Structure 1
Amino acid sequence: MDKKIIVVDDELNITNLLKVFLERKGYQVLLAYDGTSGYELIEKENPDLIITDLLLPGLHGFELCKKLKENVKLMHIPIILMTAVYKKTKYKMEGKQYGADDFIEKPFELPVLLAKIEKLIPPPVSMVG
């Protein structure tokens, strides 16, 4: 069974790029374009990993992270926060306080993101061996 990743970002070029890249690596990728619909999709799909931007319409990325970590059914899901704006160490620390498992700054290299993903969840069976 493919590992399921939900990407939440209002930048279509980022979501589409991540969808194509991660699907080629064997992941199932679902997309949401704002924090509120992202939370609803996560509740419905119960993914293996969440990658979310911080500056989102509706529900800010930190608030999304906090809401997920307060939900008993969803708190186990690892979260990678990504941002082009919040680049200082204090924001990484704040992300950790909200329950984020990792943090990546935009622009980023896809192999770096993939390494962060594989640190949090095992690669899909199609990638192993």
Structure 2
Amino acid sequence: MYDNQPRTVRPDTLPEVIARYLTAHRAHDTAAAVAAFTHDATVIDDGNIYEGTEAIGKWLDRSATEFTYTIHLTGAQQTDPARYIATHHLEGDFPGGTIDLRYQFTLRDGLIERLVIDP
């Protein structure tokens, strides 16, 4: 059924762990956000790689305080049973002021194993 071509899904049908992470991230709740990841998870954001929950927690803390911004989920796709893309629109005091970012999630055992964030 899947051929690695993303298919659009309703944002409210994203897996619970992704919804939980996104809610915690928006609320700057680092502990709850980190709890959504596997212990050996990887996050790639802005050309940087964060491996393991300790590094991911530090990244979340930094990203929560570096800039002030609003974030809105604008779309969702599923690539295969374990891979989802959540597209967000951000507006804030970061360079450029607005950006659309794709949060590409890979799940394993009900948790986030990998997150890649890119435009």
Provide the TM-score with structure 1 as the length reference: 0.26
Q: Which has the higher helix share?
A: 1
Q: Which has the higher strand share?
A: 2
Provide the TM-score with structure 2 as the length reference: 0.27
